Structure 1
Amino acid sequence: MQILATLKSKKISPEQLFMLSVLAVNGGNYLYNLILGRVLGPTAFADAAVLITFLLVLSFIAMTFQLVTAKFSVLFEGNVFTSFVTRVYKQSFVVGVLLGLGIIAFAEQLQVLFNTSSKSMFVIFGCGVPLYFLMSVNRGTFQGKKLFKSLSITYQGEMLSRLLITLGLILVFDLKSSAVIAIGILLSFVFGLFPFKSSDINLKSAVGLDKKYSKQIKRFFLLTAFYELTQIIINNSDILLVKHYFESYEAGLYASLALIGRIVYFIAWMFVMLLLPAVVQLKKEGRETATVLFKYVGYIAVISTIIVVTCLSFPELIIQILFGNEYLAMAPLLWKYAIATSMFAISNIFAYYYLSLDKYVPVIISGIFGMLQMALVIIFHESLEQVVHMQIIAMILLLVIQLGFFKHENRIRKKVNLK
């Protein structure tokens, strides 16, 4: 009773509410993946992992529109903001339609490339792509305006609907095909659209944007798009390459390893959502921004250390609890994969920080090391252990270079301030 009274007396800030919501969403997504892994088994789970990876790839592409919307939602107001958001909605929908049609058109080729049991899962997934892009722009307005309650609801709606619909079809109707998983993902996009901020859209009339703003938006969009491409490569290429080079059983084992090890990255993403609008607002007000960076890097470093130590100390217990005995072969690699994702998560905070400040060098650095990781896995893939080792090498080098860039930038800033 005393604990409840203490919680009631302390008002939870919107940012704290969003962080709690994101933890719940990540927990729900983990539960979704874990149940799929247990119910389907390693071989069938490999197909599911391809769809889940496609969903992650889609989220990174759509994140370009979300971050652009979030940043300029801070900077623009009134009719200019309405004109900007209307334009982004139109552009995102066109991109979503083209990308969705592309996935549908090449469904058969995708089936062959990733050794999946059917092409229908790609067709169904492609139908939902335009909805996901609209959903991302909607989230960007909530993020930029710091409407974290509405932002939380959209993420919870997507997660809960996907979890309940997919598992309902599998457990109640005993349907275990990859198409069922695709249907669950498609319908979750519909639920994720709510609440929809339609008041920001004005299709009839729009105020033209100043050329200075248009140039700034285009530059930030291209930078963000390039960086999200590096995110796709670093975060998902390993699963897709393993699915291509290894048998389905081994690919399913690796998918379970990746799911557990990436918990660090998913937690880091929560801080990125808070970092960008905070840094843009501080820069707009002419205030110092590095303190925000240090705060979130500190959070991720502590969380990463705890997760790596836990994976090193209890690998078999973790895998048994989460996936079952069928996946125990991955136990020795668990802590190593956690190291790779931890290095990436920390370097990711630095990259998003500089992206918020319109500095492109860290984005290029991430792109180079994303390609390096992919090249290393393509060249060295004799075993799953070797695949993990290649990622550790690439991600440690990436973090070292990002830290070096920060020190260099900080040194230059201090010299300028002394003059």
Structure 2
Amino acid sequence: MQLLATLKSRKLTPEQLFMVSVLAVNGGNYLYNLILGRILGPAEFADAAVLITFLLVLSFVAMTFQLVTAKFSVLFENEVFKNFIVKVYKQAVVAGIILGALIIGFASQLQAVFNTSSSTMFIIFGFGVPLYFLMSVNRGTFQGKKAFKSLSITYQGEMLSRLLITLGIILLLNIQSSAAIAVGILISFVFGLFPFKVKQLRFKNATPLDAKYRKQIKNFFLLTAFYELTQIIINNSDILLVKHYFESYEAGLYASLALIGRIVYFIAWMFVMLLLPAVVELKKEGKETASILFKYVGYIAIISTIIVLGCLLLPELIINILFGEQYIAMAPLLWKYAIATSMFAISNIFAYYYLSLDKYVPVIISGVFGMLQMFLVVFYHDSLEQVVLMQIVAMALLLVIQIGFFMLESRQQKKLSL
């Protein structure tokens, strides 16, 4: 009773509440994928994995708008912020409509490239793209203003609705198709919009921003867009390439491996969401920022070590509990894939740290090694194990160089301060 009273008396900070919420959202998304894997089986799960991968790709593209909105929500105030938010909403809607139209228009070609059973799933998905872009700008506002309660609600709404609607269609209506999964994803975007500040979505002309602000926004937008492109390549190219080069059964097995191995990256994303506004605010106040970086790198390193050891010592048990015996062939590769994603997650913290400080070099480094990973898989894919090993090579080099850049940058800063 005393313990309960103590817990009740301690109120969670907004940041802690958001971290708990993100863990719950990631857990729900994981459950969504695991249930699909068990219900559909490896071959059909390969199609679902393509849709889930498209969702991840979309999240990275839209993240450009979210991070730009988050950063300048910290820097801009009053009328400047109002004019900025109107502008970014307009651009997000236009970008969403164009990208959605491209997905719908090339649905048949996408079906052929990724060997899916239907093109309908791409058409349904395409209609949801503009909604996702609106949702991302809305989230960026909450992130920049540190309105973590509202930010948590948008993520929870998207996750819960997708989980419940998709499972309802599959289990209650007995429709086990990729189109049913696409419908669940589309509807979840609507729920993810709330809470939404309708007043900010104005399409009448706002007062133009000063040239200096427009230049700041443009530079950060281009830098962030380039980095998110590298995220797309590193995070998703392996699944799409495996779906292209391997049979559906093997592609489904690999999708289960990727889902389990990437848990460390999904946890790391929680810290990235907290990192950017904190670093921008400290820089604005003229304070040092490296301590924030060390804190989050330390968290990810500890979590990564625990996950890799678990995957090394208990691979069959983990796969059997999460996906079932039909996926057990991936057990020997689980710890290796976890190493690759762990190195990427730590590298990612460094890259987003420098992105917050408007430093370009780490972003370019990530782009180079994202392309290297893709080319390695294109040229070396005799087996699924070889695909995983190529990712370990690329991510190890990326992490070493990111750490080297940080050490070099720190030395230069010390020399300048003397």
Q: Same fold (TM over 0.5)?
A: yes
Uncovered stretches (5+) of structure 1, i.e. residues with no partner: none
Superposed CA RMSD in Å reads 0.7
Aligned to 1:3: 3
Quote how far apart the aligned CAs of 1:308 are: 0.2
Q: Partners in 2 of 1:203 and 1:7 — Cα distance?
A: 47
Q: Partners in 1 of 2:241 and 2:202 — Cα distance?
A: 44
1:28 has 2:34 as partner: no
Quote how far apart the aligned CAs of 1:202 are: 4.2
Aligned to 1:393: 393
Quote how far apart the aligned CAs of 1:204 are: 3.7
Quote how far apart the aligned CAs of 1:207 are: 2.4
Quote how far apart the aligned CAs of 1:11 are: 1.4
Q: Partners in 2 of 1:111 and 1:201 — Cα distance?
A: 35
Deviations 1:15-64 (A, max 9, x none): 00000000000000000000000000000000000000000000000000
Quote how far apart the aligned CAs of 1:72 are: 0.0
Q: Partners in 1 of 2:76 and 2:202 — Cα distance?
A: 15
Aligned to 1:82: 82
Aligned to 1:326: 326
Residues 219 and 381 (structure 1), Cα distance of their counterparts in 2 relative to 1, 3 Å cut = same
Q: Would you say the 8 A contact 2:90–2:203 is kept in 1?
A: no
1:260 has 2:260 as partner: yes
Aligned to 1:73: 73
Q: Partners in 1 of 2:2 and 2:37 — Cα distance?
A: 40
Q: Which runs of structure 2 are paired with 1:172-211 in the superposition (5 Å)?
A: 172-204=172-204, 206-211=206-211
Helix, strand or coil for the counterpart of 2:359? coil
Identity %: 80
Equivalent position amino acid for 2:229 in 1 = L
Quote how far apart the aligned CAs of 1:4 are: 1.8
Q: Would you say the 8 A contact 1:82–1:201 is kept in 2?
A: no
Aligned to 2:270: 270
Q: Partners in 2 of 1:113 and 1:282 — Cα distance?
A: 46
Q: Would you say the 8 A contact 1:257–1:330 is kept in 2?
A: yes
1:376 has 2:376 as partner: yes
Deviations 1:205-228 (A, max 9, x none): 522211111101000000000000
Q: Which runs of structure 2 are paired with 1:3-402 in the superposition (5 Å)?
A: 3-204=3-204, 206-402=206-402
Helix, strand or coil for the counterpart of 2:175? coil
Q: Partners in 2 of 1:27 and 1:71 — Cα distance?
A: 27
Helix, strand or coil for the counterpart of 1:92? helix
Equivalent position amino acid for 1:362 in 2 = P
Quote how far apart the aligned CAs of 1:3 are: 2.5
Deviations 1:364-392 (A, max 9, x none): 00000000000000000000000000000
Equivalent position amino acid for 2:354 in 1 = Y
Taking structure 1 as the reference length, what is the TM-score of the superposition? 0.99
Q: Partners in 1 of 2:97 and 2:209 — Cα distance?
A: 25
Q: Would you say the 8 A contact 1:319–1:325 is kept in 2?
A: yes
Q: Partners in 1 of 2:266 and 2:168 — Cα distance?
A: 25
Q: Partners in 1 of 2:161 and 2:3 — Cα distance?
A: 32
Q: Would you say the 8 A contact 1:69–1:85 is kept in 2?
A: yes
Equivalent position amino acid for 1:297 in 2 = V
Deviations 1:296-335 (A, max 9, x none): 0000000000000000010000000000000000000000
Equivalent position amino acid for 2:250 in 1 = E
Uncovered stretches (5+) of structure 2, i.e. residues with no partner: none
Q: Would you say the 8 A contact 1:83–1:202 is kept in 2?
A: no
Taking structure 2 as the reference length, what is the TM-score of the superposition? 0.99
Equivalent position amino acid for 2:284 in 1 = K
Q: Partners in 2 of 1:212 and 1:264 — Cα distance?
A: 39
Q: Would you say the 8 A contact 2:162–2:185 is kept in 1?
A: yes
Q: Partners in 1 of 2:248 and 2:49 — Cα distance?
A: 11
